[in-house]
Chains A and B, each alone.
Chain A
Amino acid sequence: MKTAILTFPGSTCDHDASFALKDVMGLDAEFVWHNQSSLEGFDAVVIFGGASYGDYLRPGAIAKLSPVMAAVRRFADGGGPVIGVCNGFQILLESGVLPGAMIVNESLRFVCEDASVKVEADRTPFTRVIAPGKVLRIPVAHRQGNYFADPATLAALEERRQVVFRYCDAKGNVTAASNPNGSVGNIAGICNEAGNVLGMMPHPERRVERELGGTDGKLLFDSMIVWLKEKGK
């Protein structure tokens, strides 16, 4: 079971991801530089945050052109588990692997704080062991995390149960006040139609130890391990 941690020029959360996966979860994981064109030998792909290419043009708009993204598309098409967090989510959106787009937060400012998200679907490899309805406390840290999609796309997302996380209050009520960035439908994370690719703005890698405020984020990686084991990896 081996995980690829993608690194782009400007990635900042790659080290945090590596610490969470290797040191805390005990997984085998390796950095993969953006100019690699193969993901041969990897069983899962994680794309974490930062400001790839300085967020020039739009966050993720340049990273999507990196050779490694073509490999990610092939990997995803083959059913492999892929998670994009924060800038990773933005890259997956820009690449068209996931539908919709990110716009600047409603406040027009960067926001770094704890957020509560309600789990809406356990069909992804990263929510495999999390009961739908459970509320996770995971921080957000972004300027452009205001998820947007046109009404038809949104309707399709809802109908196909592709909304995986929604911002909510501590009790699980999806309210305007609990939405940190103005995302349509309080959407914090979505998956592709097949369910194997997840994009989310909150940072699960920052909540894998009690010492740092909780282990809700660890549930996503626990899920990934269970899912991969089920697939015989």
Chain B
Amino acid sequence: MKEIPVTPELAKEFGLSNEEFDRVRAIMGREPNFTELGIFSVMWSEHCSYKSSRVHLKKFPVKGPRVLQGPGENAGVVDIGDGLAVSFKIESHNHPSFIEPYHGAATGVGGIARDVFTMGARPIASLNSLRFGSPKHPRTRYLVAGCVEGMADYGNCIGVPSLGGEVYFDESYDGNILVNAFIVGLLKTEDIRRGFASGIGNPIIYVGSKTGCDGIHGATMASGEFDEKSEENRPTVQAGDPFIEKLLLEACLELMKSDAIVGIQDMGAAGLTCSSFEMASRAGTGFLMDLDNVPQREEGMTPYELMLSESQERMLLVVKKGRESEVLDLFKKWNLDASVIGEVTGDGIARVRWKGEVVAEIPVAPITDQAPVYDRPIARPESQDALQREVDPASIPAPADLAKTWTRLMSCPEMADKKWIFRQFDHMIRTNTLVSPGSDAGVIRIKGTRKGIALSADCNSRYCLLDPYIGGMIAICESSRNIACSGAEPIGMTNCLNFGNPEKPEIMWQLGCAIEGMAKACETFDIPVVSGNVSLYNETRGKGINPTPTVAIVGLLEDASKRLVQWFDSPGDAILLAGPDRLEARLGGSLYLKEVHGKTAGMPPVPDLSHEKALQRFLRAAAKDSLLSSAHDLAEGGFACALAECCVTRPDGPIGAAVSNPFPGDIRPDFAMFAESQGVVILSCRPDRKEALKSAASKFGIKITDLGFVGGERIDIKGVASVSASDLCNDWKEGFAKSLGLEG
């Protein structure tokens, strides 16, 4: 093989700056060769090294009495009692999904599933958080259909139910969609596995799909901006095979029942390189690897290609010496390729051999310990003041027909029924699903116990654009409130921080503020951050996306039979509003302002964290005492849309409601209906439980207002607006497919 000369220019092409390239040379004590340069470039890519976000991520609270594994492993692990734990993580697959939606999104699911079963957990549920461009953008429909089908096919094939998630549309994602996939798995606390390459002389085993030339430099692609030529990157997107993943899942879980495994890690971004270096680095060891023993899909692959390939469905194992044949036999049973490709060494050096020659020789510790970390410059955008300026109500024409505007908001793609999406996902497999997609949180039971797990993914990126600190805080408030609205207690959080180019001080300001807001809320609510992922460079032609720190929170129900749903149950039930002493609603960043008046401006509602904490505690207490029939929080679309959701999302068919207007009479009716609030929940209960509910609320300092009753044909906010429940339900059901031009 003719060696390609390594120059600073080539390093730059690989995404390494001049300073980073100098650092490589200092670590090596010589010029790196082509393969070595490739290894450094992926290890130090933004995607793998978190070099721009690391200093800010330290602000997250990561400890808690339930935390068994915090950030830094393949996925976090949280104790749920009875000797059981859940492992979970959310991860982005944004860039590949934009280039090739079906396979990009599918392999996102595959990657996160491997992260979870690597920890020794069987995946039990998934969520997805999706952001697309304007429904009117010509590419949006194709991207929606492709991403949904890709994620659904993959999850269905490996048998993991989808419990829901979120979908938003905004022009800022026209050239850069977001596909964030979350999976939670269940394990016994004593069965946690970790990615350690320990024990000198222990064999390193490769298992799973053969290595091909796909996805080479995917991690680097995910660490750069998009331009006109991004379509040409299609070959860097991996194609997934969920069947192999399913075999890998079953085989690994079967193997984990024995004590043969020392360490295990999936080959995700930067493939063989990242998995081997990370495992050795955690254990403080080195390794010797023979690339000739790597199962290969095509002939003539170079060491560079073998080390950087991101072929899917592959795992790297370190097993106890002498147990090789037992391990290889097990994988044979599952018809999987498995091969001993090296061994753990004690000198801290990674040596990669190919055709008898050492083709790369890199000290392990420095490549991780001395990886660049940047405290990048931060600057509040000059445009931020103008963006936050309060919208003059006089400039907002009052709608002539409020009922029509109500219907319009309920049928816009952000609010409309997402059944078009979630009926493509098997949400019942594993026979644990207690609350299917469509409520504030999805709920599954844990067989063999009385427990349940509630899951919610949230982020309002309009709020984050207007004020990333408040927006970040609200993401946590909303997600944990959704968990509380199902009766559960948040036990851990994972996040996917989707932002633009970190080399721009304005983007770093957004990132820094959002993390601070999230961290503050997590501390207040005692929710530890146990895993996550950062996706930067979400820009196309210099234009960044709305800052989108997607949050997924896992909640625990000690008694799953006490779970709550968001929809009204029976005619005659009382409807109440739980909130702060003074009810406030803001136009800033509201869906109403955006959808009806075409503006994203003003200040979002400001959460009161101590009220929020008390509210969520009250909700859990009321659920535990079986005082409630339903609970649903105010969010996008304000009071009127939250009320309408209580009526139309009911699986047994829509039901009416007659309520009074909770806002003072001098507030403009359209603002009372559609301006947005934090820390407010619509409750319903049997009339005979109303007094008990009120006295419970007063214990937590929560104000309860009587609003009215469930029942009738119409959803009626007295003196303000009224719609037919069944008509609104039909429009809500048809809205999604209609506005995207998809077939129903």
Is the CB–CB distance between A16 and B242 below 8 Å?
no
Cβ-defined contact, B434 with A53, below 8 A: no
Contact of B433 among A9, A109, A143, A212 (CB under 8 A): A212
A212 to B429, CA, bound (A): 11
Interface centre among B244, B247, B428 (most CB of A within 10 A): B428
Q: Mark B419-433, 1 if CB is under 8 A from A, else 0.
A: 000111111111101
B423 and A112 contact, CB distance less than 8 A: yes
CA distance A16 to B153 in the complex (A): 19
Q: A141-B429, A212-B433 are in contact. Are A10 and B153 (CB under 8 A)?
A: no
11 A–B contacts, CB within 8 A, in A order: A9-B246, A9-B247, A10-B243, A51-B246, A54-B243, A110-B423, A110-B424, A110-B426, A112-B425, A203-B428, A211-B445
| A13 and B429 contacting across the interface, CB-CB below 8 Å | yes
Q: How far is the CA of A219 from the CA of B431 in the complex (A)?
A: 17
Contact of B156 among A15, A51, A56, A206 (CB under 8 A): A51
B44-103 residues with Cβ-Cβ distance < 8 A to A are: none
Please name all residues of chain A whose beta carbon is closer than 8 Å to the beta carbon of B247 when the two chains form the complex. Answer: 9-10
State in angstroms the CA–CA spacing of A53 and B246 once bound together.
10
Q: Counting CB contacts under 8 A, is A196 at the interface?
A: no
With A112-B424, A205-B431 as given contacts, are A19 and B242 in contact (CB-CB < 8 Å)?
Answer: no
Q: Tell me which residues across on chain B come within 8 A of A230, comparing CB atoms.
A: none
Q: In the complex, what residues of B have CB within 8 A of residue A111's CB?
A: 423-424
Partner of B153, one of A53, A110, A206: A110
Contacts of B243 in A (CB 8 A): 9-10, 51, 53-56
Provide the A13-31 mask, 1 if CB < 8 A to any CB of B, else 0.
1011001100100000000
What would 8 more interface pairs be, CB under 8 Å, given A51-B157, A143-B156? A10-B246, A12-B158, A51-B243, A51-B246, A54-B246, A55-B243, A206-B431, A209-B431
Partner of B431, one of A20, A55, A56, A107: A20
Given A110-B424, A112-B426, the answer on whether A16 and B334 have CB atoms closer than 8 Å is: no
Is the C-beta of A113 less than 8 angstroms from some C-beta in chain B?
yes
A16–B430 touching, CB < 8 Å: yes
User: Is the pair B447, A19 in contact by a Cβ cutoff of 8 Å?
Assistant: yes
Choose one: B152, B244, B335; the contact of A110 (CB below 8 Å): B152
Minimum distance in angstroms from B538 CB to a CB of chain A: 28
| Interface residues on chain B, number (Cβ under 8 Å) | 31
Q: Decide yes or no whether A50 CB sits under 8 A from chain B.
A: yes
Question: Which A residues from 148 to 199 make CB contacts under 8 A with B?
Answer: none
Given known pairs A10-B243, A111-B423, the reply for A50 and B152 (CB within 8 Å) is no
From B428, B434, B743, A141 is in contact (CB under 8 Å) with B428
Residues on the B chain within 8 Å of A88, using CB = none
- Interface flag for A139 (CB, 8 Å): yes
Q: State whether A16 touches B431 (Cβ < 8 A).
A: yes
B149 at the interface (CB under 8 A from A): yes
A123 to B156, CA, bound (A): 33
Interface residues of A (CB under 8 A from B): 9-10, 12-13, 15-16, 19-20, 23, 50-51, 53-56, 107, 109-113, 139, 141, 143, 203, 205-206, 209, 211-212
Question: Are the CB atoms of B246 and A212 closer together than 8 Å?
Answer: no
Measured CA separation A16–B241 after assembly (Å): 23
**CB within 8 Å for A15 and B430 given contacts A10-B247, A50-B159, A109-B149:** yes
Q: Which of A51, A54, A107, A206 contacts B428 (CB 8 A)?
A: A206
Chain B residues positioned under 8 Å from A112 (CB to CB): 156, 422-428
- B419's closest neighbor in chain A, by CB? A113
Can you name the residue of chain B whose Cβ is closest to the Cβ of A12? B159
Chain A residue contacts of B334, Cβ below 8 A: 9
For A205, the chain B residues whose CB sits under 8 A away are 431
Residue of A whose beta carbon sits closest to that of B336: A9
How many contacts A-B (CB < 8 Å)? Answer: 83
A212 touches B430 (CB 8 A): no
Expressed in whole angstroms, the Cα–Cα distance for A111 and B431 within the complex equals 17
Q: Is the CB of A19 within 8 A of B241?
A: no
6 tightest Cβ-Cβ pairs between the two chains A and B:
A54-B243, A12-B159, A141-B426, A16-B431, A51-B157, A110-B424
Q: Which residues from chain A contact B743 at a C-beta distance below 8 Å?
A: 107
Specify which chain A residues have a CB less than 8 angstroms from the CB of B156 in the assembled complex. Answer: 12, 51, 110, 112, 141, 143
Chain B residue nearest in CB terms to A52: B243
Q: State the Cβ distance, A193 to closest chain B Cβ, in Å.
A: 32
Per-residue CB proximity of B633-653 to A under 8 Å, as 1/0?
000000000000000000000
CA distance A228 to B425 in the complex (A): 36
In the bound complex, residues from chain A placing their C-beta under 8 Å from that of B430 are 15-16
- Selected from B157, B158, B434, the residue in CB contact (under 8 A) with A211 is B434
A50 to B429, CA, bound (A): 10
Name A54's contact: one of B242, B424, B445 (CB within 8 Å): B242
Chain A residues whose C-beta falls within 8 Å of the C-beta of B433 in the assembled complex: 212
> Which of chain A's residues has its CB closest to B425's CB?
A112
Within the assembled complex, what's the spacing in Å between the Cα atoms of A54 and B423? Answer: 20
- Give the contacting residue for B429; candidates A9, A12, A143; CB below 8 A: A12
Which residues of chain B (152-192) have a CB below 8 Å from chain A? 152-153, 156-159
Q: Which of chain B's residues 544-577 have a Cβ closer than 8 Å to chain A?
A: 561
**Which residues of chain B come closer than 8 Å to A206, judged between CB atoms?**
428, 431
* Residues of A with C-beta under 8 A to B241: 54
Q: What A residues does B426 contact at CB under 8 A? A: 110, 112, 141
The CB with the most chain A CB atoms within 10 A, among B153, B241, B243, is that of B243
CB distance from B481 to the nearest CB of A (A): 25
- C-alpha gap A6/B335 in the complex (Å): 18
Residues of A within 8 A of B159 (CB): 12-13, 50
A112–B428 CA distance with the chains assembled, in angstroms:
8
Cα separation A20 to B430 with both chains bound (whole Å): 11
List B225-274 residues whose CB lies under 8 Å from chain A.
241-244, 246-247
Instruction: Identify the closest chain B residue to A141 (Cβ).
Output: B426
Interface string of B423-463 (1 = CB under 8 A from A): 11111111101100000000001010000000000000000
Cβ–Cβ contact B335 & A139, under 8 A: no
Chain B residues with CB below 8 A from A139, complex form: 428
Nearest chain B CB to A34 CB, angstrom units: 11
A178–B389 CA distance with the chains assembled, in angstroms: 52
Q: How far is the CA of A125 from the CA of B431 in the complex (A)?
A: 24
Is A16 within 8 A of B447, CB to CB?
A: no
Whole-angstrom distance between the Cβ of B152 and the nearest chain A Cβ: 6
* Chain A, residue nearest B335 (CB): A9
Q: Which residues of A contact B246 (CB under 8 A)?
A: 9-10, 12, 51, 54
Contact A109 B428 (CB under 8 A): no
A139 to B429, CA, bound (A): 10
C-alpha spacing A19/B243, complex, angstroms: 23
Task: State the Cβ distance, B490 to closest chain A Cβ, in Å.
Answer: 24
**Known A51-B243, A112-B423, A141-B428: A10·B157 in contact at CB below 8 Å:** yes
CB distance from B256 to the nearest CB of A (A): 17
In the docked arrangement, what's the CA distance between A143 and B423, Å?
A: 11
Q: Which residue of A lies closest to B447 (CB)?
A: A19
The CA of A139 and the CA of B434, in the complex, are separated in Å by 14
Query: Which of B422, B430, B561, B743 has the largest count of A CB atoms less than 10 A from its CB?
Result: B430
Chain B residue numbers with a CB within 8 Å of A110 are: 149, 152-153, 156, 423-426
